[in-house]
Amino acid sequence: MQIEKLIRNKAKCLKCGEVAESKSGHDFRRCKCGAIAVDGGLEYRRGVMESHDIYEDQSEYYTLHYPTWDDYKAGKQPIKVEFSKHVTLEHRRKLLRDWLTQGEFVVTFKKIDGELRNMPCTIQEGKVPVVESKTGRVKKPNDEVMSVYATDKNEWRSFRVENVLSIEMKEQV
């Protein structure tokens, strides 16, 4: 799987030589001669130009490749994925859920007090105890926090998705 993200939105005017860069959604920037302009910041990329031949796109992208569970099983890919700041919350959540439902992994995350924790955990069916609901109420899903079964403590634990640094396959005995 691969995600690509815009990290700089800019273009060079080949008429006056100036580089115009847009840093936020409503940051409309023109070059000094006015022949080109960029807009949209990192939310969307929009270029305005007198003609295409004077507009040189200099936008920068960040690309993250990461293995899917099938790649992992086929042994073709590395088994550790590190999350940089460019990986969105949505993609982190998707990868964590994708993998943890299928096995046991070590998730490294920063705790609220700033300390790092390497937690072997899973949410794979059959490996976690069935949770009995006492009240019968359904807990409101929270996209920012993930609950997992910590296999070193045999207890449910949770972490904030944004604080996860990496996920790594645990050595299987």
H-helix or E-strand spanning residue 97? helix 89-100
Region of 16-24, 99-107, 122-130, 151-159 interacting with Zn ion (CB under 5 A)? 16-24
Does the footprint of Zn ion cover residue 87 (CB under 5 A)?
no
* CB closer to Zn ion, 35 vs 95: 35
Interface with Zn ion (CB under 5 A), residue from 33, 116, 131, 145: 33
Strands 36-39 and 116-122, bridge-based pairing: unpaired
Report the C-alpha gap between 120 and 133 in whole angstroms. Answer: 25
Check binding of 16 to Zn ion (CB under 5 A): yes
Choose the binding region for Zn ion from 5-13, 43-51, 82-90, 124-132 (rule: CB under 5 A): 5-13
Is there binding between residue 92 and Zn ion (CB under 5 A)?
Answer: no
13, 106, 121, 123: which one binds Zn ion (CB under 5 A) = 13
Q: Give exposure, 68-82, as e/b (b: 16+ Cβ within 10 Å).
A: eeeebeeeeeeeebe
Residues 6+ apart with CB under 8 A from 171: none
Instruction: State the DSSP code for 17.
Output: -
Check if the beta carbon of residue 121 is closer than 8 Å to that of residue 127: no
Give the CB-nearest residue to Zn ion.
13
Task: Give the residue, chosen from 10, 15, 29, 92, that forms a contact with Zn ion under the rule CB under 5 A.
Answer: 15
Q: Residue 93 and residue 81: Cα distance in Å, rounded?
A: 13
Contact window for Zn ion (CB under 5 A) among 24-32, 75-83, 99-107, 154-162: 24-32
Q: How many residues contact Zn ion, by CB under 5 A? A: 6
Judged by beta carbon, residue 50 or residue 90, the one nearer Zn ion is 50
Q: How far is the C-alpha of 169 from the C-alpha of 117, rounded, in Å?
A: 15
Q: Which residues bind Zn ion (CB under 5 A)?
A: 13, 15-16, 31, 33, 35
